[in-house]
Structure 1
């Protein structure tokens, strides 16, 4: 009992601490955002928006959550132990965590994400997460966008100075005071998928749009 309470306290405090430390660090970046007007206009006119980027490039996410905080946002987070902490970080950023993944509890989580998109939330999605392979768009994002009738705003991040981890995704952490640019590609308004061929064509289109901007 006491071990469980201690773990809960550690996760809660750890998640909040990570959020504030990462946010303070990211505030040193000189941030530039390109072409967010298109998806914002679409959202404010009653459209549904799913923002997708590579797992490698999501460190800047906390700054973006702050920038777009007037729009309710949800993200899918795995039900792993690490996901518990990430979930607390999301909550500290006023982002609603939907627990699940394509490999564990994916069905209910996908349905909840669709429901929240239909209620007006922005959905954030890591296209090749949580375990890769890097640069390969998972099918879930197409299922999510198609199920909710949402347009996809593909995004990529560049930095003039950054560290890259020795991990499957070569995770990028911009260096202090780096110039960081977030670019939103043209909004992808995908027609309903009729069969597996349509589904794969849409997945490949999204993958081809963002692969050139992935650090290999």
Structure 2
């Protein structure tokens, strides 16, 4: 990413064009999206969580924008800013996370968005890892808003992994794949203890890891891509 807003927007449009091309030339089955769509159409925003590795198809892992708005949390790093510009090409709102901003300040911003009826999407192991290790932040948002967390994952038969910290999975065009969504299985206490919070974090991480593995298996991968 450069210091030129014009060049950055150009790069974002090129990335978005590839994502659209790869998705539209392929066949993806979708499981579990109906429940999320029902919540959104009823004016009840949700919290969407995925692994950073599976961000490439995130524009298609949430109901269409005409059903409801969604806001993506992006990092202050150059790659995070570029990812935010790419998601804006698909109609996402974005909330940048300045390096010095506290989780409290971010949570206030997210609560404000959700009170406006905007859903929130977040890579649970972002913005910089460790890969596959969930943070507690989405749990705090669920507690503060009373809204559910839905987990989502995709996989494809043909694709490749980049040499980034998250081993970002890039699907190829003219392939087939799956998009899986399911509700986080645990209830959120109003005032969880540190022990309960850690148990919930681990449960979220375990469930999402299993969802990614199930998507990979459905696409013929003998071992999980995570």
TM class, shorter-length: 0.7 to 0.9
Q: How many residues align?
A: 210
The answer for the alignment partner of 1:105 in structure 2 is 101
Structure-2 separation of matches of 1:205 and 1:93: 31
Q: Does 1:40 align with 2:37?
A: yes
Structure-2 separation of matches of 1:28 and 1:62: 16
Residues 40-79 of structure 1 aligned to structure 2 (within 5 Å) = 40-64=37-61, 68-70=64-66, 71-79=68-76
Structure 1 residue 187: deviation in Å?
Answer: 4.6
The answer for the alignment partner of 1:210 in structure 2 is 208
Structure-1 separation of matches of 2:148 and 2:168: 26
Q: Does 1:182 align with 2:186?
A: no
Unaligned runs of 5+ residues in structure 2 are: 214-224
> Residues 148 and 80 (structure 1 numbering): CA distance in 2 closer, same or farther, change over 3 Å?
same
Q: TM-score, normalised by structure 1?
A: 0.86
Structure-2 separation of matches of 1:109 and 1:27: 34
The answer for the alignment partner of 2:124 in structure 1 is 127
Structure 1 residue 61: deviation in Å?
Answer: 1.4
**2:111 touches 2:145 (CA, 8 Å); kept in 1?**
yes
The answer for the alignment partner of 2:11 in structure 1 is 14
Unaligned runs of 5+ residues in structure 1 are: none
Q: TM-score, normalised by structure 2?
A: 0.83
Q: Does 1:157 align with 2:119?
A: no
Structure-2 separation of matches of 1:52 and 1:85: 20
Structure 1 residue 191: deviation in Å?
Answer: 3.3
Which whole-Å deviations, capped at 9, do the CAs of 1:54-85 have from their partners, x for residues lacking one? 111111113346x5111101011112222332
Q: Does 1:193 align with 2:153?
A: no
